Structure formats: structure tokens, C-alpha cells
């Protein structure tokens, strides 16, 4: 059974540009969310979303539906993020490939009108988790995010990270235990 | 408990075989501390899913479209190669050409006069001893134009002596 995204990608491969628009609409926000966690800078993450979809556009004629579209898409996004992280002189958080005043601001919870105590606590917890996530090794972070948030199976995460399922299992376990400790669940990790 | 944590993670992810999953479910029912640990690990996933997401900028699609258009345009694919002849290189070439032309012009002027001088000298009485010209007055490729003109003036004088 072919999923809707694969169908759209096949339509795009056949020359239907609207299918590409539809894929962008469906996936841009999720790819951005993933990339924000990978590079920790909103402006850079946005540039990488462009880069990811540009690579999808370039690869349209070579596309073969072998896996879920999301696995393929996050493989591309993850590779773009890794390339960025390996750059010897990474752009500072305020710099972006595109101009814009607020795009480069570091990720932060948006401020609103007087928050309740519960909301403040939740934000603090979220910020703590965000910071702990950013401290994880890139592969652990990537593996856990793709599994826990994007719902990829171990096999799919392994494909996205070009590694084995056994390795993915270990990466996810280590990442979860570290973050659980941060969140107050010391366990015995 | 690392091994147990690993098993709990796999359970959480639905990656345990049916037999192992059933055994773990039974253990969770018997051991509250195990259930608490599973809840801690599950809270991580819930926390991650609750993290805020930056909104996709309204102009992101337009920016992407610009990049796609740039790739589509034939000019982007086939940029003309940069000329290797920069201004400095062109100036050096011009200077070499001017010098070569000047050297050729000098040769055309000097050589016939030298030949004429030999003929003239052969037909006159032995000339008074002339102080040898300084070594650097000899016509050479490196001779400055002023010195070449001096040599030509000397030749004119000799011709005058020869014919006089």
C-alpha cells in the first residue's frame, strides 16, 4: 500500500508541481521542528528546511518509493543538519542565509500575557528538557527525536542514520535515560 | 538496571517481541518500581512532543521557490567560465608587446647604420684614436633609449669624419 506522501512524490516526479506544494505544506513544519532541535538555531533551521526541500526537488527524477516518505525526508533533513554541524565556522545564531530580524533568535518559548504558575513550571521544565536535549550527542538526539516525536520505527531510524537497528536501540536508550535524569527521574541509568 | 532500562525503552517503542512484551507486562503488574521507571522514561517522550515548535515563516515557500527558479534557469547551470586574462595580466601582455615593438624598431634603425659605418670606415684614413666607448654604451637589449640615441649621435659624428 502506497502512503499519500509517496503518491504525492510520485506525482511530483511525473511533473505535477502542485504535489510538491502539497508535500511542503504537509511536512515543512515538522521538518523545521526536527531541524530546530538538531542545530538549536531557529534561523539556521529555517535555512535547512529550504535546503531539505531543495534536495527533494533535485532528487525528484531519481525518487523510488522504497520506504515511507517521512523516512526519506528525515534522512535528507538529518544529512543537511549534519553538514551544517560539521562546518568549521558555523554561522552565529543571528546570521541567516536569508535576511530577517527575528529568524536567527535562539529558540525560546514565546512570551505571552501573565502566565499561570503551572504554565511557568511547564515552561521551566520544557526549557530544561530543551537544554538537555541540545547537550546530547547528535546521533542520540536525532534517533530519539525521530522515534519519540516522529514515530519512526527502529528500522526506519536506522535507515535515516545509516546504522544498524541494534545501534539505534542503544542510542535511544542512552538518550532517554539521560533526559529522564534531567527531568528528575534519576533511575539507575 | 541498564539492561532493564533498555528493555523498557524497547517496550515503550513497541519493539519487543510478543513473548518478551507479555513477560514484561506481567512484571510491571507485579513491581510498582518498574512501572514507575517506565513512566519516567515515557515522560521524556511526552516532554519532547510538548516542546514548542517555531512556526514556518509565511515567506519560506517563496524563498524556496526563488532558489528552485535559480536552479531551473539555464544561466545558473552554465555560468560562463571566468576569463583568466584579468586586468593585470592584460597590462603585462601590453607592456611586453610595446617593448618587443620598440626593440624591433631600434634594430631596424641601428643595424643599417652599423653596416653603413663599417663601409664608411673602410674608405677613410685611419681615424684618430678614439677613446673606446664605455662598455655600457654598447647596444644591447637592455640599453635604455637615451643611451641608444647617444650611440647614434656618435655614429653620425664618425660619418661626418669619414666623409670630410
> Taking 60 as the threshold, does the pLDDT of residue A62 lie above it?
yes
Tens-place pLDDT, residues B2-36? 889 999 999 999 999 999 999 999 999 999 999 99
Optimal mutation site among B8, B44, B49, interface A, most CBs of chain A within 10 A: B44
Query: Can you list the alpha helix ranges (DSSP code H) found in chain B?
Result: 2-12, 18-30, 32-50, 60-72, 74-77, 87-122, 145-163
Write down the domain spans for chain B.
1-51, 91-121
Q: Are A180 and B41 in contact (CB under 8 A)?
A: yes
Contact A144 B9 (CB under 8 A): no
Say yes or no for a CB contact (<8 Å) between A54 and B64. Answer: yes
Rounded-to-integer distance, Cα B160 and Cα B164, Å: 6
Which of A36, A125, A185 is closest, CB to CB, to B54? A36
Average pLDDT of every residue of chain B: 69
pLDDT tens digits, one per residue of A67-125: 899 999 999 999 999 999 988 766 544 344 443 333 334 444 444 455 666 666 666 66
- Taking the Cβ of residue B33 and every Cβ of chain A, the question of whether any pair is shorter than 8 Å is answered with no
Q: Answer yes or no: do A32 and B56 touch at CB < 8 A.
A: yes
Element of type H or E holding A181: helix A165-182
Secondary structure tally for chain A: helices H, strands E: 8, 0
Which residue from B5, B15, B45 is facing A177, i.e. has the nearest CB? B5
- Residues from chain B that touch A124, judged by Cβ atoms under 8 A, are none
Q: Which of A21, A46, A147 sits opposite B13 (nearest CB)?
A: A147
Query: Looking at beta carbons, which residues of chain A come within 8 Å of B48?
Result: 129, 133, 144-145, 148-149, 179
Residues of A in contact with B13 (CB under 8 A): 147, 153-154, 172
Query: How buried is A12 (Cβ within 10 angstroms: 0-12 exposed, 13-18 middle, 19+ buried)?
Result: buried
Q: Return the half-sphere exposure (C-beta side, CA atoms, 13 A cut-off) of residue A180.
A: 24
Question: In b/e form, how buried is each residue of B77-99, taking b as 16+ CB within 10 angstroms?
Answer: eeeeeeeeeeeeeeeeeeeeeee
Least confident of A101-110, B69-78, B110-119: A101-110
Q: Quote the pLDDT of residue B113.
A: 62
Amino acid at each position: 500500500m502506497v502512503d499519500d506522501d509517496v503518491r504525492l512524490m510520485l506525482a511530483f516526479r511525473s511533473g505535477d508541481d502542485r504535489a510538491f506544494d502539497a508535500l511542503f505544506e504537509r511536512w515543512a513544519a515538522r521538518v523545521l521542528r526536527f531541524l530546530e532541535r538538531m542545530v538549536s538555531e531557529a534561523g539556521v533551521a529555517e535555512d535547512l528546511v529550504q535546503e531539505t526541500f531543495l534536495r527533494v526537488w533535485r532528487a525528484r527524477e531519481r525518487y523510488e518509493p522504497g520506504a515511507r516518505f517521512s523516512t526519506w525526508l528525515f534522512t535528507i533533513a538529518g544529512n543537511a543538519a549534519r553538514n551544517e554541524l560539521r562546518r568549521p565556522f558555523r554561522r552565529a545564531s543571528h546570521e541567516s542565509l536569508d535576511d530577517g530580524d527575528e529568524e536567527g533568535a535562539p529558540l525560546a518559548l514565546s512570551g505571552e500575557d501573565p502566565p499561570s504558575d503551572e504554565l511557568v513550571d511547564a515552561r521551566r521544565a520544557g526549557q530544561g528538557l530543551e537544554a538537555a536535549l541540545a547537550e546530547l550527542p547528535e546521533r542520540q538526539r536525532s534517533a530519539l527525536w525521530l522515534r519519540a516525536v516522529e514515530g519512526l520505527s527502529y528500522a526506519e531510524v536506522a535507515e535515516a542514520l545509516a546504522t544498524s537497528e541494534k545501534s539505534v536501540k542503544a542510542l535511544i536508550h542512552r538518550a532517554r535515560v539521560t533526559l529522564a535524569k534531567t527531568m528528575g527521574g534519576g533511575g539507575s541509568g | 538496571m541498564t539492561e532493564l532500562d533498555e528493555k523498557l525503552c524497547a517496550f515503550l517503542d513497541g519493539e519487543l517481541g510478543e513473548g518478551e512484551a507479555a513477560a514484561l507486562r506481567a512484571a510491571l503488574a507485579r513491581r510498582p518500581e518498574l512501572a514507575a521507571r517506565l513512566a519516567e522514561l515515557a515522560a521524556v517522550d511526552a516532554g519532547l512532543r510538548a516542546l514548542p515548535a517555531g512556526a514556518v515563516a509565511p515567506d519560506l515557500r517563496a524563498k524556496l521557490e526563488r532558489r528552485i527558479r535559480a536552479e531551473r534557469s539555464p544561466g545558473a547551470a552554465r555560468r560562463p567560465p571566468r576569463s583568466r586574462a584579468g586586468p593585470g595580466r592584460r597590462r603585462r601582455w601590453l607592456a611586453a608587446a610595446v617593448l618587443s615593438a620598440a626593440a624591433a624598431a631600434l634594430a631596424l634603425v641601428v643595424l643599417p647604420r652599423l653596416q653603413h659605418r663599417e663601409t664608411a670606415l673602410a674608405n677613410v684614413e685611419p681615424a684618430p684614436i678614439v677613446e673606446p666607448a664605455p662598455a655600457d654604451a654598447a647596444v644591447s637589449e637592455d640599453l635604455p633609449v637615451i643611451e641608444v640615441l647617444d650611440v647614434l649621435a656618435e655614429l653620425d659624428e664618425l660619418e661626418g669624419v669619414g666623409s670630410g
